[in-house]
Amino acid sequence: MEILGYNFDEFLAWVGEDTDTLMMLIWILPVIIFVFYGQRIQLMISSNEIKKDIGKLDEYTTSTKKDFLNYVKNNLTSKSDPSKKLDSFFDYFTIMPVDMDPNGIITKINHLIRSREDFIRLQINGMFSNLSSVELSKLQNLLEIVTTLQLFHKHTRHLYLTAKKQKNFPLILPLQMMIPFIMEEALALKDAMPAIKNGQPIGDGIGPMIVGQMMLGTTKESAAFETVWSKTTFEDRELFLMKAEGPNATVGRPGDGLEKIISIKKPDLVIMIDASLKLEGEDSASIAKGFGAAIGGIGTERFKIEEIATKNNIPILALVVKQSIHEAITLMTEDIANSAKTVKDELHQMIRENTTSGQSVLVIGVGNTIGVSQ
Amino acid sequence: MSKSKNKIFTCYTSTECNSCKIIKKRKFTDGDIVFATAENCSECDGKMVITKIFGVAMD
Cβ contact A331–B32 (<8 Å): no
From the CB of residue A287, how many other CB atoms can be counted at a distance below 10 Å?
A: 16
Tell me, yes or no, if A194 comes closer than 8 A to chain B by beta carbon: yes
**Is-contact A245 A252, C-beta < 8 A?**
yes
Residue of A nearest to B52 (CA): A337
Cβ contact A340–B52 (<8 Å): yes
**Per-residue pLDDT in tens (0 to 9) along chain A, 374 residues:** 566 666 767 766 666 666 677 788 888 888 999 898 888 888 888 889 999 999 999 999 999 999 999 999 998 888 778 888 888 888 888 999 999 999 999 999 999 999 999 999 999 988 888 899 999 999 999 999 999 999 999 999 999 999 888 888 788 889 999 999 999 999 999 999 999 999 999 999 999 999 999 999 999 999 999 999 999 999 999 999 999 998 999 999 999 999 999 999 999 999 999 999 999 999 999 999 999 999 999 999 999 999 999 999 999 999 999 999 999 999 999 999 999 999 999 999 999 999 999 999 999 999 999 999 99
Which of B54, B56, B58 to probe by mutation at the A interface, max A CB count within 10 Å? B54
Tell me, yes or no, if A231 comes closer than 8 A to chain B by beta carbon: no
Q: Cα distance from B25 to chain A (closest Cα, Å)?
A: 12
Residue of B4, B2, B59, B49 whose CA lies nearest to B22 = B49
**Is-contact A200 B53, C-beta < 8 A?**
yes
Tell me, yes or no, if B55 comes closer than 8 A to chain A by beta carbon: yes
Helical segments of A128-165, H only: 133-165
Cβ contact A247–B33 (<8 Å): yes
Closest in A193, A336, A372 to B34, CB measured? A372
**Is-contact A212 A343, C-beta < 8 A?**
no
Rounded to whole angstroms, how far apart are CA atoms A47 and A169?
A: 9
Cβ contact A198–B28 (<8 Å): yes
Q: How many CB pairs under 8 A join A and B?
A: 71
Q: H-helix or E-strand containing B7? A: strand B7-17
Rounded to whole angstroms, how far apart are CA atoms A164 and A182?
A: 20
**Is-contact B56 B20, C-beta < 8 A?**
no
**Hey, CA dihedral for A247, A249, A253, A258, is it positive or negative?**
positive
Residue of A161, A181, A180 whose CA lies nearest to A171 = A161
Q: What is the DSSP letter of A203?
A: G
CA atoms within 13 A on the CB side of A68: 30
* A336 contact residues in B (CB cutoff 8 A): 54
Verdict on whether the full-model pTM lies above 0.95? no
